[in-house]
Amino acid sequence: MTEETKLTSSPTARFEDDIVVELLKRTEAGEPLLRICSDPKMPARRSVYDWIENDPEFSSQFHDARKRGIHALAEQCLDIADEPSKDAVAATDKRIRIDTRLRLAGKWLPSIYGDKVLNEHTGKDGGPIQTYDLSKADDGDLEKLEALLSKVATGGEA
């Protein structure tokens, strides 16, 4: 299939089932869609994205394959790490290849490969946050609070 044919194909036109199966298998193996679609027998990227938007069954299959492909990228890191390095340049190349895969996996599937983010709220000097029960406040305290909030809301002008 020529690039011209790929670009003019109907967005919802389905290729032969074996082509779709191959596209999903290659995606599942961690191969980027750009590389897959550069193969002359594969559909254009635009067609694949049109299928994703317009065909719920294909969309579900593609997203499942992509998740498995992200796991494959992470697993490739082990193979890369196990490759012997002949010199410092090769070792640096390996680090870059591993780091790229792990960073992409962390961005694309953060629940599994992303950095854990923990937000903690603490009070003064790391202690507990002070709370106040305003239901027990008297009218004088509530007036002071109202004046303070008014001052904050007007930027210090009260």
The predicted structure's pLDDT at residue 4: 41
CA–CA dist 136, 157 (Å, integer):
28
* pTM: predicted TM-score of the whole model, two decimal places: 0.63
Spatial distance between the Cα atoms of 35 and 51, rounded to a whole number of angstroms: 18
Q: What are 88-112's pLDDT values in tens digits? A: 999 999 999 999 999 999 999 999 9
- Which has more pLDDT, 80 or 122? 80
* CATH superfamily of the domain spanning 3-113: Homeodomain-like (1.10.10.60)
Q: Give ranges for CATH 1.10.10.60 in the chain.
A: 3-113
pLDDT of residue 141: 87
**The two structure tokens encoding residue 109:** 């599937």
Band the pLDDT of 13: cuts 50, 70, 90.
low
Return the structure tokens found at 138.
């008297």
Nearest alpha-carbon partner for 69 in 27, 34, 35, 24:
27
